[in-house]
C-alpha cells in the first residue's frame, strides 16, 4: 500500500478508536483495521476481523448494496489469499 494511504488509514483508525463507543463506531473500526491488515498482506488477520461481522451488521453498513458487497468481496479475497 502506498505510504500516504496507510498513514491516512492509520489516522482514520485512531480517530474512530478514540470515539468507538457505539456499535457502529466499533464496526467502522473493525472495517478500517481489516483494510489495514489486507494492505499489509496480513490476510489471515483480515479474515479474523471480518468473520464475526454478522449478515445483519453487513446489511446495516452504509446506504447502498455496494458497501455490503465490498465487505463480502474483501473477506472472500482475504480467505483465498490466506490459504
pLDDT in tens, 20-39: 678 888 888 888 899 999 98
1 contact partners, CB below 8 Å, separation of at least 6: 9, 39, 40
* Angle subtended at Cα 44 by Cα 42 and Cα 48, rounded to the nearest 5 degrees: 120
Q: How far apart are CA 30 and CA 38, in angstroms?
A: 12
Total domains in the fold of the chain? 1
Could you list the residue range(s) of the whole structural domain that residue 77 is in? 3-82
Residue 67 has pLDDT above 80, yes or no: no
**Who has greater pLDDT, 61 or 43?**
43
Q: Is 0.85 topped by the overall pTM?
A: no
Amino acid at each position: 500500500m502506498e505510504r500516504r494511504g496507510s498513514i491516512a488509514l492509520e489516522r482514520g483508525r485512531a480517530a474512530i478508536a478514540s470515539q468507538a463507543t457505539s456499535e457502529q463506531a466499533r464496526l467502522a473500526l473493525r472495517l478500517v483495521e481489516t483494510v489495514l491488515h489486507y494492505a499489509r498482506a496480513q490476510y489471515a488477520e483480515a479474515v479474523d476481523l471480518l468473520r464475526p461481522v454478522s449478515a445483519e451488521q453487513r446489511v446495516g453498513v452504509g446506504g447502498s448494496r455496494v458497501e455490503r458487497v465490498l465487505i463480502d468481496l474483501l473477506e472472500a479475497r482475504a480467505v483465498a489469499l490466506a490459504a
